[in-house]
Structure 1
Amino acid sequence: MMKIEKNTILFDLDGTLTDSAEGVIRSAQHMQEKMGIEKWSDKDLKFIVGPPLIKTFTEDFNMNQEDAHRALEFFRERYATVGLFENKVYEGIPEMLQELKKKGKRLAVATSKKEETAVRILKHFKIDQYFEVIGGDNRELGRDTKAKVIAHVMEVMNVSKSDVIMVGDRKFDVEGAHSVGIPCIAIEYGYGDRDEFEACGADYIGATPQAVVNMF
């Protein structure tokens, strides 16, 4: 198999490095209770893990912008204190990161999660040391889309897009990467599936963390 000749690898967080479904779903249900709307089942809320929340609240919950931002505050009210630790690192992730570092790769995180929350999670699970940059949503600075987060991380790392690749588990990772001109590896152990990846034009598809290592 041809090896990917990229030296900088950006990773999504939810569904790629950690399985955060429980905390995200519980926090979404907390939001629904606070908003006075019907609380959905765990199964019906599974889709919420990964995509930018404002986009989810406006498009999937049919909220206007004002309500979507209120919903985001209620979600974060629980997630920032309890939900972020209802989470676990996928099996094989530390080993994947170690092996990629041994291969001389520069690693970073580019997530739609609030940046300070992403830092707390990665520190909690003791995998933050593998990453040069941990970049996330920062609406105060206008960094409110996946593409903007990816562009920010690349700028901080001072890398050319010709030397960068994204790794993620949903179409939003693929689309965000493509919009800034870099390819994306879609992984199958997270929240997306092969049909989604093929439909959005993922450049590579990997079944396991070790499969990602083997691509380089």
Structure 2
Amino acid sequence: MAMLVFDFDGVLHDSRNRAWRCYQQARTEMELWALPDLAGTGDLPLVYQGVLSESLTRWVDFEVAERFWKRHAELTARAAADEPDGVIPELASPLAGLAAGPGYAVVTGSHHTTVRNLLARDLTEEAMPHILLSRDESGSKTDKLHDLRTRYGASAYVGDTGSDVRHAHAAGLTAIAVAYGYASREDLTAAGPDLILATPADLAAWCRAHAGVPGPAPAPAPSRTT
């Protein structure tokens, strides 16, 4: 059994409300009125589409977009202390099973301390990821995934955006997409993932099957792309 790698926000943790609030705050602070005014979390797919580093360049220059996402990360890290939940409940037990078996890693665009603290709310130390790579470590997401494949035999990356899918494939990994995160299902499908899982329960069942842990069978015939 090979190591699995997960994105954090939108996959293992539901941070959509925090992301939306901090997007609106950063937009106001920086007076970037050219960026869309998002009415709520349902509008997040508007900005989380395509290659994420270029997702705002429809409205602002790349350098401005980079500064925006840096400020957004600072705000979301600060707001994390007020998050009511840590790991999505259905996923705590499957993650513990993976930790006891093939192991798992997390590669995320959030800050290291923020992610570790949120994971630790619901996971014992034994159930924590073997490796946690964040925006605080150098290198692109593709570079980090490629290193995990080369050094630890990682086989798949689970993400929630088309950008995650592209990073997985660029690193030579199987790309698993979840449809309950930040991006629309249309954007995920356009990126060409190897498998789309609709709900956290579907991801939990898929993880249990990978780790050989008894549990509910995966949902029948999840959407595949060619």
TM-score with structure 2 setting the length: 0.73
Deviation at 1:152, TM superposition (A): 4.2
1:213 to 207, 213, 223: 207
Instruction: Tell me which moved more, 33-42 or 69-78.
Output: 69-78
Deviation at 1:214, TM superposition (A): 4.8
* Pairing 1:59-78 to 2, within 5 Å after superposition: 59-65=57-63, 67-78=64-75
Instruction: Tell me which moved more, 202-211 or 124-133.
Output: 124-133
Counterpart of 1:123?
120
Deviation at 1:97, TM superposition (A): 1.1
Post-superposition Cα deviations, 1:103-157, rounded to whole Å, max 9, x if no partner, equal x221110112233432333234446642100112237x3x2x32123234446xx
| 1:159 matches 2:170 | no
Greater fraction strand: 1
Counterpart of 1:134?
132
- Structure 1's 40 and 205: CA in aligned 2 closer, same or farther, altered over 3 A? closer
Paired residues in the alignment total 201
- Structure 1's 75 and 48: CA in aligned 2 closer, same or farther, altered over 3 A? same
Between the aligned residues of both structures, percent identity stands at: 24
Counterpart of 2:159?
168
| 1:203 matches 2:178 | no
Post-superposition Cα deviations, 1:156-201, rounded to whole Å, max 9, x if no partner, equal xx223xx521112222222111101111222233334554443322
Alpha-carbon distance in structure 2 between the residues aligned to 1:50 and 1:125: 30
SS of the counterpart of 1:41? coil
Alpha-carbon distance in structure 2 between the residues aligned to 1:46 and 1:196: 8
Counterpart of 1:3?
none
SS of the counterpart of 1:28? helix
Counterpart of 2:106?
109
- Structure 1's 127 and 196: CA in aligned 2 closer, same or farther, altered over 3 A? farther
- Structure 1's 196 and 69: CA in aligned 2 closer, same or farther, altered over 3 A? closer
| AA matched with 1:44 | D
Structure 1 residues without counterparts, runs of 5 or longer: 1-5
- Structure 1's 173 and 71: CA in aligned 2 closer, same or farther, altered over 3 A? closer
SS of the counterpart of 2:193? coil
CA RMSD between the two structures: 3.0
**Contact 1:94 1:127 survives alignment (8 Å):** no
TM-score with structure 1 setting the length: 0.76
- Structure 1's 205 and 52: CA in aligned 2 closer, same or farther, altered over 3 A? closer
Alpha-carbon distance in structure 2 between the residues aligned to 1:191 and 1:20: 9
Alpha-carbon distance in structure 1 between the residues aligned to 2:136 and 2:145: 12
Counterpart of 1:188?
179
Counterpart of 1:28?
23
| AA matched with 2:132 | I
| 1:149 matches 2:140 | no
| 1:18 matches 2:13 | yes
